[in-house]
Amino acid sequence: MTRPAFRLLSAEPSTPGGAVSEHAAVRRLLQRVGLGARPGETDAAARNGFDVTLTGLMSPAGRDAGVAATPPPGLAPLERRAGKNDADARTEQRQEATKQTAQLGTWWLDRMAAVDEPLPERMTWFWHGHFATSAQKVRYPPLMLAQNETLRRLGRGDFRTLAQAMIIDPAMLVWLDGGGNRVGRPNENLAREFMELFTLGVGHYTEDDVRQAARALTGWRVDFRTGAATQDPRDHDAAPKTVLGTTAPYDAAGLTDLLVTRPASPTFLAGRIWRRLVSDTPPSTSTLDRLVAAYGPGHDVTALVRAIAGSEEFRSAESVLVRPPVDWLVGALRALRLTASALKQQTLTSGLRDLGQIPLRPPDVGGWPSGPPWLSTAAALARLQVARELARTADLSPITDEPRPGRVEATAALLGLDGFGSRTTSALAPLAGRPPDLVAAALASPENTVSA
């Protein structure tokens, strides 16, 4: 689908010079930097203005009733290993791990739907796609929960601190085979992905750099009883390594410092966040320079996000993003004041699976795609199926209290939209007498599927 086709889906006018209106720009902030607006929030934020809204999003006070109402689940420890010949015990372990993973994913959706200050959860979700780790291989939900909490705790500050934590994160060590990395037999998987996907990008390292970096990461082991990662000095290669033209007795912390301070790292990270918040088209050289300056020597993630959201390109009519399934779902939950746990779990799980995005289960270490892949015919049908469950569960009195002629407009307001295009309006109007069908169709409409 082309960009002009995306623009045709929007009912929102642009201002002269190619920028969207103030109201649309504020809605973007609430969708992209936040997690979607609750009823009335877009209009209230628009009255405050873009700059005030951005400042409020970027400076959460930390006293969040939604966080208090959604404490992390208490996951019972799992017996990691059953006897080799005990098939029943292994099956039971797998079933319990699957159950806990589903519980953890539903809790996280509930947390994202509940928070009053969305930036911490927005960045936790971003980093989950960046440092993509899947429960399908880790198979120990307490490690996934611990990683989730690390991303939340460190994900808005110094990227170097976050990267240092993630390179020895227990779930990451399991996911990228770092727990079997030892002197004399280095495993290159973690070192390669940390350079290519997490810190530098393709083309900024050599195969020899990978081999040398793998030596720096030797000796780490995961204790599944405690959930901790520790280094065994007997298995660590303490000899000097030459990585990216520098020689030192690098260990995990030293290697991370080297990688995140390379000139390629700030531009790589800015590009990754840019694609999620603005466009698949890279920023101009001058804009990129401003982003890198904001990120600065302190590797300030929040300052970088603020600079991206404050850029002219963020407010441009050309900035049109397809809302990934979890973004779309969380936005719907917030608009309808629902929780994920209130939905039929089979419908929720099958819907997210068919849409191709299940929390804690990215498809590979590269994370999830962006853009048109989410707009397939199969995805549209799956989205409508989930939308029907949302509409069936929600309190639709804001719609049913309206006379039929006003229900399409009331539905747009409920979802935080200024309205629907003429084509969508024509499709929705016959559903005014059936509010659940009206709301379901509106949730799956082009205007609510893209962030324009």
Q: What is the mean pLDDT of the chain?
A: 93
The two tokens of residue 238 are 């303490």
pLDDT over 90 percentage in the chain: 89
What's the domain range around 428? 3-20+321-451
Taking residues 245-249, report their average pLDDT. 98
Measured from the Cβ of residue 42, the count of other Cβ atoms closer than 10 Å reads 25
pLDDT at position 84 is 62
pLDDT in tens, 256-298: 999 999 999 999 999 999 999 999 999 999 999 999 999 999 9
- Number of domains forming the structure of the chain: 2
Cβ-proximal residues to 202 (8 Å cutoff; 6+ apart), any chain: 196
Same domain, residue pair 281 and 325: no
Residue 295 within a domain: yes
Q: Residue range 376-401: average pLDDT?
A: 96
Residues 300 and 353 in one domain: no
Q: Look at residue 411 and tell me if it is in a domain.
A: yes
The torsion angles phi and psi of 299, rounded to 5 degrees, stand at 50, 50
Domain-located, residue 84: no
Residue 329 and residue 447 in one domain: yes
Same domain, 331 and 446: yes
The predicted model scores a pTM of 0.94
Residue 272 lies in a domain: yes
Burial string for 176-194 (b: 16+ CB within 10 Å, else e) reads bebbebbbeebbbbbbbbb
Q: Looking at the structure, tell me whether residues 399 and 302 fall in a common domain.
A: no
Domain match, 328 and 310 both = no
pLDDT at 372: 85
pLDDT beyond 90 at 38: yes
Statement to judge: residues 311 and 332 lie in one domain: no
Mean of pLDDT values over 82-93: 75
**Angle CA 48–156–198, to nearest 5:** 130
**pLDDT (0 to 100) of residue 12:** 45
pLDDT digits (tens, 9 = 90+) for 162-214: 999 999 999 999 999 999 899 999 999 999 999 999 999 999 999 999 999 99
CB neighbour list of residue 136: distance below 8 Å, 6 or more residues apart: 361
Domain C-terminal end among 315, 350, 381: 315
Ordered DSSP codes for 295-342: HTTTTBHHHHHHHHHTSTGGGBTT--EEPPHHHHHHHHHHHHT--GGG
CA 75 to CA 245: how far, in whole Å? 45
Does one domain contain both 332 and 272?
A: no
pLDDT at 5 > cutoff 50: no
> Within this chain, do residues 440 and 339 fall inside the same structural domain, yes or no?
yes
**Does residue 291 share a domain with residue 325?**
no
- List helix spans (H) across 9-86: 22-28, 41-48, 50-58, 65-69
In a shared domain, residues 288 and 365: no
Identify whether 396 is part of a domain.
Answer: yes
272 and 376 inside one domain: no
